[in-house]
Structure 1
Amino acid sequence: MKFDDKIPIYYQIKNYIYGRIITGKLVPGEKIPAVRQLAVDLTVNVNTVQRALSELISEGILESKRGLGNFVTEDQAAINQVRHKMIMEQLHAMYENLHNLNVTDDEIVQYLRQYIKDRRTNKDDQHN
């Protein structure tokens, strides 16, 4: 995993885990790797991983089971809330970046529709 120097690493780890849950790479009820294993896998300090996991536990995205480890919540509403939050963060960043280029709201919608249409066309062309 490559880290962005401008964003705290623990926050990037949280987003990494969010992404794995949302995409189904980690499923509800699944045990996640131990803190030390995650630290080795991500090449970060154990304390950094622990901070990220502690926040995920306090948010209800992970559940800690004493002696067994940490597990992905089975609360689909919590997972849907995280998905919504991540989508809104991406849209916010896109919106701000485009407004910094003096693109109007109407133009953003127009460009997004065109982008989606072009993506669909390119996908269809690749399958033929």
Structure 2
Amino acid sequence: MNFKDSLPIYIQIKEYLCRQIITGKLEPNQMIPSVRNLATQLTVNVNTIQKALRQMINSGLLVTKRGEGNYVTSDKKLLEKIKRDMIVAEQRKFVQNMKSIGITPKQTHLILANHLK
């Protein structure tokens, strides 16, 4: 994984894992890799992984089973909410990027319409 300097690594890891869940690469009730495995896989400190997972547990996206590990929630409403939130965040980023380079909302709409053809 290539990390950006503009965003804390633990947030990027959280976003990465959320994408894995939203796209079905990690399914509801599936156990996620251990903290150590994720740290090795992503080449980051164990504490960084723990911080990302703690936030995901606090939000309900991950469920900890004592002595077993962390699992993706089976709460379909929460999973849909997380997906909607990610869509809105991506839309905001896109629109802000277009504005920052001088593209009007109308031009943005046309660009998207042409791209989707």
Q: Classify the TM-score, shorter chain.
A: over 0.9
Structure 1 gaps of 5+ residues are 118-128
Report how far residue 84 of structure 1 moved.
1.0
2:79 matched residue in structure 1: 79
For structure 2, which runs of at least 5 residues remain unmatched after alignment? none
CA distance in 2, matches of 1:100, 1:19: 26
Question: 1:81 offset after TM fit, Å?
Answer: 1.0
Q: Deviations over 1:2-53 (max 9, x none)?
A: 1111110000000010000011000000000111111111110000000000
> How many Å separate the matches in 2 of 1:32 and 1:71?
6
Measure the CA separation in 1 of the matches of 2:103 and 2:41: 41
How well do the aligned residues superpose, as a CA RMSD in angstroms?
0.8
2:20 aligns with 20
Match for residue 47 of structure 1? 47
User: Counterpart of 1:103 in 2: which secondary structure?
Assistant: coil
Matched residue, 1:32 = 32
**Count of paired positions:** 117
The equivalent of 2:97 in structure 1 is 97
Deviations 1:74-122 (A, max 9, x none): 00111111111111111111101111122111111111011101xxxxx
- 2:108 corresponds to 1:108: yes
Q: Larger Cα Rg: Structure 1 or Structure 2?
A: 1
Distance apart, 1:56 and its partner CA: 0.2
Secondary structure of the 1:63 match is strand
TM-score relative to the length of structure 1: 0.89
Distance 1:4 1:109 in 2: 28
Q: Point out 4+ residue stretches in structure 1 off by more than 2 angstroms.
A: none
Q: Percent identity at matched positions?
A: 43
Code of the aligned partner of 1:12: Q
